[in-house]
Chain A
Amino acid sequence: MRRRTNLAWLLVLPVVLVVAFTAVIPLMTVVNYSVQDIFDPSSRLFVGFDWYRAALRDPRLHDALARQLLFTGLVIGIELPLGIAIARFLPRDGRAASAWLVLLAVPLLVPWNVVGTMWQIFARPDIGLAGWLVNAAGFDYNYTADPVDAWITLLLLDVWHWTPLVVLLTYAGLKAIPPAFYQAAAIDGASGMQVFRHVELPHLTGVLTIAVLLRIMDSLMIYTEPFVLTGGGPGNTTTFLSQYLTQMAVGQFDLGPAAAFSVLYFLVILAICWVFYTGVTARAARDERADGPEGDA
């Protein structure tokens, strides 16, 4: 049983102070901007929810949101099954296993703009290996001119960048399954698919929930890679929410509308986060009860 004492607040105080400075003050400032029309620091006008209404009616925002949801859906639909499959194929011990771990970590460690640069260099029709090969194979491929090519390149980039995270999470979950489960399944003559469905999947729900949650959150805030690779183009076809917001805030310096958009963006992500968090904690509580009296609250 965890001891109940409010003195523990002293231990979390440093974190609260740091996060107050880095998150709360900026967030309050955004909320403040979002209800004002700001001409310059000295002349402001309170406009209530006007900017919110404008943001909700902005067709370019609707388009960016639709593209964002399509992108997030595709990315999860590809990366999750692929990541699970690769994790199941990986060797579980030995030198090969640690070599694979380092190899898988590489895409995660590359700065996001370098990921963009790397794929740019790799996919450009004039200097890139992939660009040459695809064009040599008879396809007319140019991701800076054709929206479909841009989307394919961006998806390949994201699969390259983030599937390793799904693999690492799944792999760690698989390693935690006691060998006895596999032995029992082998005695029962279970097929590979049955082993996955009835032995592995139940043990993986925890890590897979985290994997899905992380991929949803991070793909919803994707900015740097498309910014470097396609610049949101051709046209606006790869402009997602963060990039549209940045254009508004920095490019056009529309403080009020950009702030209203920021608040809405934040609230949507908060809502998704809350649903998942309550789901995960409810499951954890159930598991702890299932562990018997040893488990604690």
Chain B
Amino acid sequence: MKRSRFATVALAAWAVYLMLPVYWLIGMALRTNEDILSQRSVIPESPTLANFVKVFTDPVWYEAFGNSLSYVVVNTVISVLVALPAAYAFSRYRFTGDKHLFFWLLTNRMSPPAVFLLPVFQLYSAVGLFDTPLAVALAHCLFTVPLAVWILEGFMSGVPREIDELARLDGHRFGYFFMRIFFPLIRSGVGVTVFFCFMFSWVELLLARTLTASAAKPIVVAMTRTVSASGLDWGVLAAVGVMTILPGLAVVWFVRGYLVKGFALGRV
């Protein structure tokens, strides 16, 4: 397809639209509060790392950052571990109620977290998990597990069933087959799954806020609470915002090769 001048201009405009708010956030993070409120300049005139220093030295911020990372990692591990066998079952076997079960799983991806707001607090308090990273990790399984099953099933169904048969005829045990033969074939699918579980758990606020108080307070909650409590420190807020984008960027960098393949299945 020939690329016109119009396409180039449109893409450039789109890139500016995508990047300008991000640029502004980074610019704010590099300025002092007085500078932000008094100076109207597009480029920070006296850039400073003071806001980042504050984020790294104030335990409220770095502990919240650690809390977030810990529940996101736990959530991703749980999601992938339980979804792998289930996705294999959906892709390879027919069993009573399989279609209904699959649809039921998907409905959880579609259900608004606000609906679960009332009971989750009581439920997780009752089992003694309230205000722990594990509570948030489990609550986020609401949407990450269905997503993981949905993505992995797509990738597994792309692997010919004859491979399972051949491995069985060769006398390989199922565990050996799954780990050594099958798993490498769906590795890109696992990469994409990790990306989406990580992403959706990382960006969520409502459940994370409901299920934590002080000990396990995640970074996204720390941000909204600071806004209401001690007046607005725009510079620090922007610096934390910049920090929250970095883990996602790291993950997308590792799976960038697989991403298009994942999107091609249309399973997000």
Contacts and interface: CB of A to CB of B under 8 A. Distances in A.
Contacts of A274: 103
B199 A19 contact: no
Given A195-B1, A245-B114, A16 B101 contact: yes
What's the interface size class on A, roughly? Answer: 35 or more
Tell me what chain B mostly uses at the interface: helix, strand, loop, or mixed. Answer: helix
B15 A103 contact: yes
Nearest to A136: B40
Contacts of A122: 20-21, 24-25
Nearest to B81: A14
Given A27-B116, A33-B118, A273 B110 contact: yes
B71 interface: no
Interface stretch (B55-63, B180-188, B241-249): B241-249
A263 B253 CA distance: 40
B145 to A, nearest CB: 6
Contacts of B238: 117, 121
Contacts of A29: 118-119, 122-123
A15 B145 contact: yes
Contact of B17 (A98, A132, A160): A160
Given A11-B89, A105-B252, A114-B245, A265 B268 contact: no
A255 B244 CA distance: 34
B22 interface: yes
B21 A25 contact: no
Contacts of B245: 106, 109-110, 114
Contacts of A19: 105, 108, 141-142, 145-146
Contact of B206 (A23, A206, A223): A223
A169 to B, nearest CB: 5
Contact of A121 (B24, B89, B92, B119): B24
A233 to B, nearest CB: 15
Nearest to A157: B21
A8 B95 contact: yes
Contacts, number: 291
B166 interface: no
Interface in B154-169: 161
Given A169-B263, A246-B114, 10 more contacts: A5-B94, A9-B96, A14-B82, A18-B78, A85-B10, A111-B204, A111-B219, A182-B1, A207-B266, A255-B118
Closest 5 CB pairs of A and B: A109-B248, A221-B112, A172-B263, A29-B119, A11-B89
25 contacts: A3-B92, A8-B93, A26-B118, A29-B122, A30-B116, A33-B119, A86-B11, A89-B11, A98-B256, A102-B256, A105-B256, A107-B18, A109-B245, A109-B251, A110-B241, A118-B25, A127-B37, A171-B263, A172-B260, A173-B264, A206-B266, A245-B114, A245-B117, A262-B117, A273-B106
Interface of B: 1, 3, 7, 10-11, 14-15, 17-22, 24-25, 28, 36-37, 40, 42, 78, 81-83, 85-86, 88-96, 98-99, 101, 103, 105-120, 122-123, 138-139, 141-142, 145-146, 149, 161, 199, 202-206, 210, 219-220, 223-224, 234, 237-238, 241, 244-245, 248-249, 251-253, 256-257, 259-264, 266-268
Interface of A: 2-9, 11-12, 14-16, 18-19, 21-23, 25-27, 29-30, 33, 85-86, 88-91, 98, 101-114, 117-119, 121-122, 126-130, 132, 160, 164-165, 168-169, 171-173, 175-176, 182, 192, 195, 206-207, 209-210, 214, 217, 220-221, 223-224, 228, 241-243, 245-246, 249-250, 255, 258-259, 262-263, 265-266, 269-270, 272-274, 277, 281
